[in-house]
């Protein structure tokens, strides 16, 4: 990114300050502040409509703020020119709800796609990189299979392998376990852990799965009505006196107890 102030001197990998975004008369973000240190996993929670995805889109440079800023490695996203923005996006691996795999390409070609699109690697270099990445997610045996022939968990792992193949410094996950069964959810949580351990990536995860969130987060953040009202390590978060955190956790425990009664 820019030579001035960027990468080397940035204190935070992601820094969000007083971020505001309004759609018509709907104030989606009302002054978000967030600082994510290098190599950590921050999990963003909050009820539907609290602004989590809108915040993530600002971090990806897909939305422009009305006020405030997002900095990635010290560079303000809204001020980046197209080339810098593309460079920044290359450093971000993204895993959304939908895996966005190409149905007509097999696993190998899906994972090789970003290398063919964005690098000048030879086919031999591509083969080595793809083999290594597929081994990392335990899919070495599935290279010739097509997405339609894979389980949900395997599709997620292919999606992750594709997001991780360019060795991004930042991994962004927006509700990656939505609609998945508990076993597949556990395998996605492992993937997120792999991203941290093996790539040393800084991760931002949006998930409604509170149990997973507590398991994987270095820091938990709660979005409430367009602001982050609590941010801290899991133990501190659990002890938070903020009414929105207490209501959120109480609601989670109530739902969990109800599920326990019906199973």
> Is residue 28 close enough to count as binding ligand ATP by CB under 6 A?
yes
In whole angstroms, how close is the CB of 221 to ligand ATP at the nearest point? 12
Given the complex with ligand ATP, which of 50 and 129 has the nearer CB atom?
Answer: 50
Q: Please tell me the distance from the alpha carbon of residue 126 to that of residue 111, in angstroms, as a whole number.
A: 10
Give the count of residues interacting with ligand ATP (CB under 6 A): 11
Given the complex with ligand ATP, which of 45 and 154 has the nearer CB atom?
Answer: 45
> Is residue 26 close enough to count as binding ligand ATP by CB under 6 A?
yes
Q: Please tell me the distance from the alpha carbon of residue 114 to that of residue 102, in angstroms, as a whole number.
A: 12
> Is residue 156 close enough to count as binding ligand ATP by CB under 6 A?
no
Edge-to-edge strand list for the sheet holding 26-36: 26-36, 14-23, 67-72, 75-76
Query: 192 exposed, middle or buried (CB, 10 Å; 0-12, 13-18, 19+)?
Result: buried
- 37, 39, 41, 91, 137 from 170: Cα distances, Å: 11, 9, 10, 6, 18
Contact set for ligand ATP, span 48-87 (CB under 6 A): 48-54
Do 176 and 208 contact (CB within 8 A), yes or no?
Answer: no
DSSP letters for 58-72: HHTTSS--SEEEEEE
Which stretch in 8-16, 23-31, 32-40, 182-190 sits in contact with ligand ATP by CB under 6 A?
23-31
In whole angstroms, how close is the CB of 157 to ligand ATP at the nearest point? 23
Which stretch in 34-42, 47-55, 100-108, 115-123 sits in contact with ligand ATP by CB under 6 A?
47-55
Q: Please tell me the distance from the alpha carbon of residue 246 to that of residue 248, in angstroms, as a whole number.
A: 5
In whole angstroms, how close is the CB of 172 to ligand ATP at the nearest point? 13
Given the complex with ligand ATP, which of 111 and 172 has the nearer CB atom?
Answer: 172
With a CB cutoff of 8 Å and minimum separation 6, the contacts of 78 are 61, 64, 65, 69, 70
> Is residue 159 close enough to count as binding ligand ATP by CB under 6 A?
no
Given the complex with ligand ATP, which of 54 and 199 has the nearer CB atom?
Answer: 54
Tokens in use for 215?
A: 């398991």
> Is residue 46 close enough to count as binding ligand ATP by CB under 6 A?
yes
Which stretch in 42-50, 110-118, 151-159, 239-247 sits in contact with ligand ATP by CB under 6 A?
42-50
Q: Which residues bind ligand ATP (CB under 6 A)?
A: 23, 26, 28, 46, 48-54
């Amino acid at each position: 990114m820019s030579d001035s102030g960027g990468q080397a001197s940035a204190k935070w990998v992601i820094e969000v300050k007083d971020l505001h975004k309004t759609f018509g008369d709907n104030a989606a973000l009302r002054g978000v502040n967030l600082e994510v240190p290098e190599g950590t996993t921050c999990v963003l929670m909050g009820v539907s409509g609290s602004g989590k995805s809108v915040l993530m889109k600002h971090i990806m440079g897909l939305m422009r703020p009305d006020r405030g800023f997002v900095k990635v490695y010290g560079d303000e996203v809204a001020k980046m020119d197209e080339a810098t923005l593309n460079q920044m996006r290359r450093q971000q691996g993204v895993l959304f709800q939908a895996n966005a795999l190409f149905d007509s390409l097999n696993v190998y070609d899906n994972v090789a796609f970003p290398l063919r699109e964005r690098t000048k690697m030879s086919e031999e270099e591509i083969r080595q990189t793809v083999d290594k990445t597929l081994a990392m997610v335990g899919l070495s045996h599935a290279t010739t299979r097509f997405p339609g022939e894979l389980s949900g968990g395997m599709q997620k792992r292919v999606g992750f392998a594709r997001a991780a193949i360019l060795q991004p410094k930042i991994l962004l996950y927006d509700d990656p376990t939505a609609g998945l069964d508990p076993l597949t959810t556990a395998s996605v949580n492992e993937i997120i852990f792999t991203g941290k351990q093996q790539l040393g990536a800084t991760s931002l995860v949006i998930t409604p799965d509170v149990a997973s969130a507590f398991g994987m987060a270095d820091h938990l953040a709660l979005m409430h009505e367009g602001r982050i009202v609590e941010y801290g390590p899991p133990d501190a978060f659990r002890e938070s006196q903020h009414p929105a955190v207490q209501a959120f956790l109480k609601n989670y425990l109530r739902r969990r107890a109800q599920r326990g009664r019906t199973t």
